[in-house]
Chains A and B, each alone.
Chain A
Amino acid sequence: MVDETTRMIDVYRHDAHKFHGQSHVDAPEEFAGVPVNRAVPYGADADAAALSRPPGRHEPVVPTHETHYRLSLLTGDAVYIPDSRSRAAVENDVRDLLTVADAESAHECWLHSDVATLFNEAVAFPYTSLKYHTLLVAALSDTYRSGLSFENLHLVVDPTNEIVPHRTVYSGDRFALRIDAHDGNRPSARLGSRPWRSWASTWNRLTAHPLNTDYDRWDMALDANLRRIWAWSTALQYLEDFTRWRGVQ
């Protein structure tokens, strides 16, 4: 019998090979002394993948960018162009992120990680985000582990800094987003009966939006774009990138 806590820490390390552009087949079983690249239980990895990319094998949608570095939906540019200096720093941050010992701490580190935003979750879909894919896998694993099935799940809007271990998938300056069972007191929307690229559909059905779309033109522009995005990890990363970008406008 595998210890449940061990399982959750494995979730945060399950895609370690994607930091190094390795395929799952070539992925090592250990990195910096910790076990990595283990399969995620309950099919949570496949379900999270279905939230952000189409099923099956695909040619890269941007043929000029066939790498594991993410393309920014906000700027259109690669978010990371490695050189010898940055490579060492990134390698360090990756090691720190993957070697966190405790699963709840790992969740918090991923929520606030910068290094995990540099990589996509699939080379063919460069606008996806390894950071948010991993957080979605964690949220699904944890909810499935507690006996909930996908069709019980909702996207729930929480106040900022209210982090629910493993289930919070986005934590920003103004609000947090969580995947969980229905919470009657908070704005929420049901995810549906099966995982698909349903970000826009779910965001559109939230009972309240955590943005000031009555008057704030930047929030309106953000909301307008969020209603156009299908892929969950792309949308959550866009929220993060937009918030940071807006701060310097």
Chain B
Amino acid sequence: MEGGTVTRIQQVLWKLEMDYIGHPYYVSGNAILHALRQSLDSSVSRTLHASHGMFVPGQFGRFPEEHSQSGVQPYLGGGLPEVNAYEDLFLHREPDHRWLLESRPREALNTHGLRTDAGYPTLAYRTIIGRPRGHRNETQTTRWYVHAYLHADDPAALPLGEATLSDVQFGGKRTYGYGEATLKDTRLVELEALEYSRLEGADVHLIRLITPFVTASDYPGANDVAVPRWWAEDRGDLRFREEHLLAAGEPYVLETIDHGQVVEYLGDRPVETARNGLTRIGSHSRMGFGEFRVIPVLDRAETTHGHGREGR
């Protein structure tokens, strides 16, 4: 642990109160900063960094095996459980949400209900399972949440108060009420105080991209970024996706290495790398891009045979 450095992040969980029209992979960090800016002093908002906001079904769940807690918890998706270890930070950040219970219709609970508004897909703010047909049929309603975290260049800027976080709006058609969300929970986490023993206990590590990594941007002043040397993969091995960044009303095109992909880590400082992955790397990292998770591989054979890339 490096002496003196304190990196605090503030986790925020919002509950969607209305359908959402916008980026369907996540609420971008840019949109989150925009929403918060309305109620913040510019000296504070200038110092803030926001992750992308991940969509989470407000469902029962079982803590994943690598989590510091275990067992089934009601509404695991609709709250912010205690964070003791590095792995705990990712509970809500991967869209396949493997903590959902086997005994429930997880596919239906974890896919967005889609509607059309003026030719655009709209994500529903809730999921209803078991439509009443005839009479006395049970229905179950599950609400969608948005999980994000903030950090700041000036650590004194955090935590943001509930008044700032409480009522926000994301995405398009906001004057019609779309994208309204209310604060459900928030939690401050000190990265240096977390347990990293699972990473330290492995010789081999993989990296999973939680959000896209920006390699080129036509935003003024942004530099092209090479694929990190500490990844075994090069450009030819990777899937790219174009992203768009709206700044001061202008759309800018970003070339990104698409999220969800897994690369092999060639470095030898996994804990330091893991922390960098939380505060993110590359262009536009202040707005959510370049977040990644370091995954320990306990058996070297798993990498060479690809097992470790299967998503666990």
Contact = CB atoms under 8 A, between A and B. Distances in A.
A211 to B, nearest CB: 10
Interface string A197-225: 01011001111110001110110110111
Interface stretch (B37-45, B108-116, B273-281, B287-295): B108-116
- Chain A interface helix/strand/loop/mixed: loop
Contacts of B120: 217
Interface in B296-312: 305-307, 309-311
B225 interface: no
Contacts, number: 126
Contacts of A249: 116, 119
Given A221-B24, A230-B96, A207 B104 contact: no
A73 B106 contact: no
A229 B111 CA distance: 7
Interface in B65-107: 95-98, 102-107
B260 A204 contact: yes
B113 A76 contact: yes
Nearest to A234: B107
B250 interface: no
Interface stretch (A53-61, A158-166, A169-177): A53-61
30 contacts: A59-B103, A61-B105, A61-B106, A62-B108, A63-B138, A76-B113, A76-B127, A127-B107, A151-B306, A190-B309, A192-B306, A193-B305, A193-B310, A198-B310, A200-B95, A201-B96, A201-B311, A204-B260, A204-B311, A205-B261, A209-B258, A213-B258, A215-B242, A217-B24, A218-B121, A224-B24, A224-B95, A228-B95, A228-B107, A231-B107
Interface of B: 23-25, 95-98, 102-108, 110-114, 116, 119-121, 123, 127-131, 137-139, 237-239, 241-242, 258, 260-262, 305-307, 309-311
